[in-house]
Chain A
């Protein structure tokens, strides 16, 4: 039978070991990481295939080779007898599967399974003895907290699955495995709690994922455009987290999580705007403090987005709003600088973004140096040499600090800040107003799987307003069933 890299996926396995090896080599070519060996098991010929670096050599020797070598029937065993031994009589590994096509063989092979083909049978057995190197579980990098769990997702899908499973021991928590990416065949696990989730949402997500025809999938960013609804918005109705506890909380609300092999972030949908202001710590601290911190975060978001724009617009177009003393101070500081306030604000904002980006991309040790150069040398020198006014530097510094409070919205705040400066600098508060209504509408149009992004504020879901003002008490949480589908504005 002719086999090549186009038709291998559905080609059935042959009966003989020679033909199996030939066909395997025809597809895999001379790739160095596929090891093919002939072994004799109780006098019967088998073919052992594994991908180098993907399996555990310890597990291979203890769980596979030793039992196979010790399996001796005192005569040449038949293919069926070896097959029965491998599938029913041995305890080599729990994760074993019968394979009938080359597509299945390659999928399992490159997922770290060992493949055993038995001469005379047109099927093979895959044995899960994965042992590739992976990062150990560490603190989450982007969503740090004080009181909650300190373990974060890593790049290995199965480890991430276990992190979630360890926290939700219910059989109702499901993980459905599928592959996306025509070339990469990336494993993804769709997870949900079956009695909390809307089954139609899960089906829709699966349908959208199956329709993806990308060659490669390396992170959640590859999937997001296919999972989002059609409207283009600056915000995303799909969130990501690298915290297993955070994912569990969201699964319990009836949301769906998608774990992608190779990325330490879980994709969660549907997602609401208000979620960006919630942290696991909210549920570990006293409620009055949670309310206080929640409102600090709202204020931080507004400051991060609009403060420089408001400052520029008020100082340039509506100075009457400011008290005389403040106005005099501003005028005095502005007098010595060569540029207009808007130009200054744009320059310093872009400078800040350059330094922030440099700080992120550079190695940690050097990243700190960039901050020192930016904050102390350039900032101080710019004010001393009267290139930039001191109040504006304070405003931008405050804005930058505020933006760190809501890391999940960092992309949006960075861009909106600059747009607000432009709108405020060119058109005053009128420009700010027009921009604001455009952004509000652009955000409000966003819906993910029937749930509006701006819920529960708009459409208003009164019994979920505590989620905006602070957090619901645990007494309240145990009494009410909170499901994300209740946020779509339809009363049931």
Chain B
């Protein structure tokens, strides 16, 4: 089962942009600072993905865990456990994020537990079908996302206020914060180093295409929210959703329900990626080499606590968007692949 570079690009993009359309705020910075730090964050990503690219070029049918197994079995197992925990954490974080948003954006529409259980079940099903199903589905979801963006821009453009955009000098601290903030939202860097064996060819096209597309759309969504909401952007918790709520089309009074549809599709794709990415390395380990086990265990371990916290209405905000996540992404997405490359080279030279 292999996917094309375009399919990988779209998978990573949807996974990343899901975070942006869910929760994206001005906080305490000016629009220009926010937009320029986003660019710096993508530039940092471009450097951080280099180990993954080298890993693919040297060992195209292996991901970071399989490569670690080639160095030593125990090292492989340790890495598998680390990535497994990361997947569980990300599933927890994504489900909880999803439910938090759902509770607040779509007040009392459905019981939280039902929403969460449906999301997890759908993601587990897509994960069970495997990478090809997820990749092909993502192309269709991508088209839906594009249509949503076009519809929102077309229906809100007349209310844009260019005065909402103003510039301020960008300080070193701003850049640093922006980069850390950006990395903490880039769990796709970790997913990428696990998905490498699925890629047919064109790693550069996938990765840099993904980063360019990400930069383009994150900046576009940011600009859209800034021009439409202005100062209110810092006050509303979900700016893009709010813009969709105000968007009025000829047949539809507001586009927030359309947002719900696209956002849910993207959420399912994002969640399924975490278990799909574990599969190429899980085949090396019993009893995880069973497809159902690899697929269900992370959803049970990550999803059930998320449902519990959602039920108890505990948000655990710091856990969702902080330096710890950034460190985990940095470590598992860049440093570990780099270490594996070096160790493998050393082992090769020793032999």
Contact = CB atoms under 8 A, between A and B. Distances in A.
Nearest to A431: B118
Contact of B253 (A317, A323, A433, A459): A323
A430 B136 contact: no
B260 A430 contact: yes
A322 interface: yes
A140 interface: no
Interface residues on A, range: 20 to 34
A427 interface: yes
Interface in A471-492: 489-490
Contacts of A489: 3-4, 7, 200
A427 B4 contact: no
B141 to A, nearest CB: 7
B4 A459 contact: yes
A436 interface: yes
Interface in A336-383: none
B259 to A, nearest CB: 10
- Across the A-B interface, give the 5 residue pairs with the lowest CB-CB distance, nearest first: A444-B136, A433-B264, A445-B133, A458-B139, A458-B136
A439 to B, nearest CB: 10
A430 B118 contact: yes
Interface of B: 3-4, 6-7, 102, 106, 109-110, 114-115, 118-119, 122, 125-126, 129-130, 132-137, 139-141, 200, 252-254, 257, 260-261, 264-265, 268-269
A437 B139 contact: no
A454 to B, nearest CB: 5
Interface of A: 231, 314, 317-318, 320-323, 427-434, 436-438, 440-442, 444-445, 447, 452, 454, 457-460, 489-490
A489 B109 CA distance: 41
A443 B156 CA distance: 34
A490 B200 contact: yes
A336 B109 CA distance: 25
Given A431-B118, A434-B118, A459-B139, A441 B110 contact: no
A445 B130 CA distance: 8
Nearest to A436: B265
A317 B109 contact: yes
B140 A444 contact: yes
Given A321-B252, A433-B264, 14 more contacts: A321-B254, A429-B261, A433-B260, A433-B265, A437-B141, A437-B264, A441-B126, A441-B129, A444-B133, A444-B136, A452-B132, A459-B135, A459-B136, A489-B7
Given A438-B125, A440-B140, A460-B139, A445 B265 contact: no
B308 to A, nearest CB: 20
A447 B132 CA distance: 10
Given A433-B261, A459-B136, A489-B4, A438 B122 contact: yes
21 contacts: A231-B129, A322-B252, A427-B114, A428-B110, A429-B261, A430-B102, A430-B264, A433-B261, A436-B265, A437-B122, A437-B137, A440-B140, A441-B137, A444-B136, A444-B140, A445-B136, A454-B136, A454-B140, A458-B7, A458-B139, A489-B200
